[in-house]
A and B are shown apart, each in its own frame.
Chain A
Amino acid sequence: MTATVEKQRTPGFKDRWASMPKQFRWAALAALVVFLYILPNRWFYEYLGFPIGSEYFALYTTRSDFAAVLFDTAVFVLLAVGLNVVVGFTGLLDLGYFGFYAVGAYTVALLTSPESRLGTNWPWLAAVPVAIAVTMISGVILGGPTLRLRGDYLAIVTLGFAEMIRLYAARNEGVLQGQRGIPEVAHPPGTGSDGKPLFGVVDSKPYYWLILTLIIVVIFLMRNLVNSRVGRAWVAIREDEDAAEIMGVPTFKYKLWAFAIGAAVGGLTGAVFAGKQTFINSDSFVLESSILVLAAVILGGAGNIKGAIVGGAITWYLPEWLRGVGDLIGVEFDAAEYRILIFGLVVIVMMIFRPQGIVPNRRRAAEFADRRKEAVPQETVPNE
């Protein structure tokens, strides 16, 4: 019956961090951001004195292009931050989040590609707001009829929706061009100092910086939103929807908002992805990715933006990095092959032993602890 003994909270990293002077915290945060920006640069490692080459060195992923890995990781982080609004704050299990990502990517592809049957041929920058608007609207269209459902039914409907989008994209030979997909999606604009376009095909670094900037902007907006009336309504819905409704929270409206905002972030991510990829077809949007994003949110700690960031980084960056470490010790460890298996296991173990995630939201952790305490008397039933 160890569950009944509450451990005395020892002052952890969080408390120490909170007791630091404000200036120090800002400086540390700024240093972290600067560090993230210079992370993909080779000269940074040379400057630090790491050997460059096929040899292993800290943080670098030796098996794949580091900037590309960082970009993919950032995509996952942004998706996790977006999904966190729906799953973490509002407590709606959305298994089809990748559907919105696909809608965003396809919108940009259709509007910008010269090969597209729409024939609009817009620049990337003009297509992005449209992509966000379209995904937001599709979020509302999906949410309108489905958000009356609760819990697991909602999860299955969103899953069905995402698969519908994928199958439709694969089968539609008209505008979406089926399996052949849409090539020649426009890149983001900008010219480098050497006169070449800033966003090319080979170098992933500019895309990483772009999406990093977007993450910072989204997090800033999200923090304000979460601490506002909307955010409080979301948490109230998560904790007890009926009670929230009785207290006068228009739950349906706020659930719809959560869906729309989550979808918008997904659409934005899809737009950036399409801008980098130059080619998309339905194979880019398989269900496994939806599940990986969900795993990222759960792993990091649902209901906490920091948690979503940590979770997103772990799900993509860690397996790639481990491949490099495996080379160092002479083990062929293809973590990408085992990624879904491992995260499936991790999700089960996390849900059983630490449902609040690595970086928990304090209120949500308390909720889990409460429920666990309520369960204790049942454990004394002899036939359990």
Chain B
Amino acid sequence: MNFDELVGNFPALTITGLEQGAIYALVALGYTLVYGVLRLINFAHSEVFMVGTFTALWTWEALGYNQNSPSPAFGPLLLALLAGLAVAAIASAATAVTVELVAYRPLRRRNAPPLAFLITAIGASFVLAESFGIGTARAPFGMPTLIKSETVFTVFGAGVTNVQLLILGVTLVMMVGLDQFVNRSRLGRGIRAVAQDADTAALMGVNKNRVILLVFVLGGIMAGVAALLWNVRYGYTKFNIGFLIGLKAFAAAVLGGIGNLRGALLGGLLLGVAENYAAGLFGGDWKDFTGFVLLVVLLMFRPTGLLGESLGRARA
């Protein structure tokens, strides 16, 4: 126990926690959307994120950046970021849709019991992770440093970097955008209808399978954005990074109330902050351990989360 470390670095730990939590929150949205509509833990979602990190890296490599290249000027930087974002989002969404079509839809057609879905989800997750593992010789990959981390301003003695601002800003924009989409658009109404009562929604003319596909696409895009932010901030990827982030994002989704979009954001930020406080208190080695303890304790004592399950409710 190191209270001095926790108290002394409190502002810095909070800021790092928020930044990590933002990435968890974006990934958590994928779990929450799919769970809200299908009551299914899309175990393969962690791999959707992993695919995003790799495709963004490959895009940058195709644009001529490597680990040694200097940080580009603003114009080319924006281009590289947007290109990486587009490719990662498309690749992640395509992966999510493939998983749905190959692994889940055939089971729905056969009215398989719920556990069968979880088992195929695990299978799909391992197939994706292992094919990337074999394809990349299980090596870790470094990234070009596109944005040089610089302190922009300080809060209570803790520096806030431009990368951290970017991550928090993008997360908030994506979050608000998704929230508005689900709450206001016609397609979003379809999502909420299917989440509330799939059969009734189908009777009212909502195409259930199209809504499910849409949900996987949205979750995939969010995971792709998270993957890009991860690349910018942490600068490495590996075939199995999805597992840990996926579990933590799932924990975040449960913390906020799975099936609840705003809950995912709240849960992600809370988890990120809690994890970093724990790291300050017990040492960095115990950070991941804290995540798991939090997940287990949460599921045991408050499985409905802080805001409750509610993709189908009005406040979405």
Contacts and interface: CB of A to CB of B under 8 A. Distances in A.
A146 B115 contact: no
B283 to A, nearest CB: 9
B41 interface: yes
A161 B122 contact: no
Contacts of B103: 348
A90 to B, nearest CB: 12
A161 B107 CA distance: 28
Nearest to A339: B130
B300 A341 contact: no
Given A152-B114, A371-B113, A352 B107 contact: yes
Interface size class of A (residues with CB under 8 A): 35 or more
A347 B300 contact: no
B296 interface: yes
Given A155-B118, A384-B209, A345 B123 contact: yes
A15 interface: no
B118 A93 contact: yes
Contact of A371 (B112, B289, B293): B112
B263 to A, nearest CB: 16
Interface in A312-366: 337-338, 340-341, 343-348, 351-352, 355
A237 B106 CA distance: 26
Q: Decide if the interface of chain B is mainly helix, strand, loop or mixed.
A: helix
A352 B123 contact: no
A146 B106 CA distance: 31
Interface residues of B, number: 45
B247 to A, nearest CB: 7
B207 interface: yes
A44 interface: no
B252 to A, nearest CB: 13
A348 B102 contact: yes
Interface in A150-168: 151-153, 155-157, 159-161, 163-164, 167-168
A338 B116 CA distance: 23
A167 B289 contact: yes
A149 interface: yes
Query: Which residue of A340, A351, A352 has the most chain B CB atoms within 10 A of its CB atom?
Result: A351
Contacts of B68: none
Contacts of A159: 247
23 contacts: A149-B299, A157-B295, A159-B247, A160-B251, A160-B295, A160-B296, A161-B296, A167-B289, A168-B289, A171-B285, A171-B286, A291-B122, A340-B126, A341-B126, A344-B130, A345-B123, A347-B119, A348-B127, A351-B123, A352-B120, A375-B111, A378-B109, A381-B202
Interface of A: 91, 93, 95, 145-146, 148-149, 151-153, 155-157, 159-161, 163-164, 167-168, 171, 287-288, 291, 294-295, 298, 337-338, 340-341, 343-348, 351-352, 355, 367-368, 371-372, 374-375, 378-379, 381, 383-384
